[in-house]
Chain A
């Protein structure tokens, strides 16, 4: 399934902040996590993830630091800040509002169910 670009962009920040709210992580792991959480339907590119992480860092929502595990290569870890948590809570409220409204509408108008195959033969 293809998810529209706008939707991917809009959900990017809360997804990253949500993942980092659980525990600090690094780029590749975040990307994998997002892919897993969405059952492979959200496939982010690096061009989306890293600039986003850098923007969140600039805004102060996440903190980054380079660490070198023993015998490994240095890696940039990102951790959520208190400000990031506040932002996440705020975004969550907004998303809840949107999904609630959508849920309501989906329930009311059954005619646009997820699978409506048009009758082609005839």
Chain B
């Protein structure tokens, strides 16, 4: 073995050790840096006495003590870290300056978000009298500040910035230029699909323009899940805040409801979108530990539920009811399944051998696939009977998009659990597939309304 090979092998081992160490909740990033420095010193000393780097690494890790014990000692000293502390601690000067900058950008963008949802009111678009305006534009108003936040944080180049502005402008035109009827199906479809399309545009900002990279896409998928968890947590806290506000003000005879519905909820919600994004990056280690756990808890539960639905359909032979609400529900279900799959993929060590959990994932995907087929059959039945409508066409497209993904995922999972395929292919498939969602969302937003005469 050449020295070079030894070095790269050592680097891989250290990287693995690092990743493993970082999963400990009580051990922060900086602590792992410190321990890694320690480990390297010891490896250098040991190789100095004539040991091979890999032997030296083993001994150094062994000397460091069992990771559980080490992290328990850290936990004892840093008991605060075991709680989901949402406040930053400063570790070193340059990083803390960087964090201050991040904090500032976050505050500005969150304020812009809060402003953006209230600004239309100045021009006569209040929440109550112009609900339609908000249905069309909410995604735009809320996500533009988030894209701005990432553009500023990542110091995106001019080309990317121009692309971001162009895509948001396109979204704005699509949402507002088409002459929708107030209660048309198309307006609802735009309200659902435009945020999805724009969320993926945010992804371009997140990746600093490097959206072709599979790694960046996976990062963004991971970010999406973590962002969602933070948003839910903030939402829960906001709910408590709202309840207490209403309660205490009504106790002193003041009706706070207007303030809450006109200011607290919209502004807080818009700001939370940016704050959650900031929290994901600032406190990465907190949620990174939570999301895989949630995935592991809910994968079996969803698998069981889906199988139960299939059994119920088989026993009763009831067809799936394809009303709009039901279609949305089933699409949502498939999206949740996909999210569980994506999440477990993003959190999984691609090198690890297939285990029980992978079988569970396969069962989940196959069950979802069967349900998707039933939904597709139901939609096609309706379409042949009553013709195409915007809703049914969109539902058909969505289910096809998800069907293709789930079918190929199921196949790849099958090869993984049979130990014939590598897990990395599954990851690759998912990241390669992301543009399909974007394309479909834009098609629904841009092409559907004129195609169906704004019905």
Contacts and interface: CB of A to CB of B under 8 A. Distances in A.
A74 B29 CA distance: 13
Residue of B33, B34, B74 contacting most chain A CB atoms (<10 Å): B34
B216 interface: no
Interface in A1-42: 26-28, 31
B272 to A, nearest CB: 32
Given A45-B64, A50-B31, A54-B78, A73 B70 contact: no
Interface string B19-48: 000000000001101110110111000000
A76 B33 contact: yes
B37 A73 contact: yes
B92 interface: yes
B3 interface: no
A27 B91 CA distance: 16
Contact of A28 (B30, B38, B92): B38
Residue of B37, B64, B69, B72 contacting most chain A CB atoms (<10 Å): B37
B78 A50 contact: no
A55 B77 contact: yes
B92 A46 contact: no
B76 interface: yes
Contact of A76 (B37, B65, B69): B37
A75 B73 contact: no
B177 interface: no
B446 to A, nearest CB: 49
Residue of A26, A46, A48, A66 contacting most chain B CB atoms (<10 Å): A46
Interface SS, B side: helix
B69 to A, nearest CB: 5
A46 B34 CA distance: 11
Nearest to A72: B37
A50 B24 CA distance: 15
Contacts of A66: 30, 91-93
A65 B93 contact: yes
Interface string A45-68: 111101110110010000001100
A58 B74 CA distance: 13
Contacts of B34: 27, 50, 75-76
User: 9 smallest A-B Cβ distances: which pairs?
Assistant: A51-B77, A47-B73, A28-B41, A66-B92, A47-B70, A28-B38, A51-B73, A45-B65, A76-B34
8 contacts: A27-B38, A31-B38, A46-B64, A47-B70, A51-B77, A54-B77, A73-B40, A75-B37
Interface of B: 30-31, 33-35, 37-38, 40-42, 63-65, 69-70, 72-74, 76-78, 91-93
Interface of A: 26-28, 31, 45-48, 50-52, 54-55, 58, 65-66, 73-76
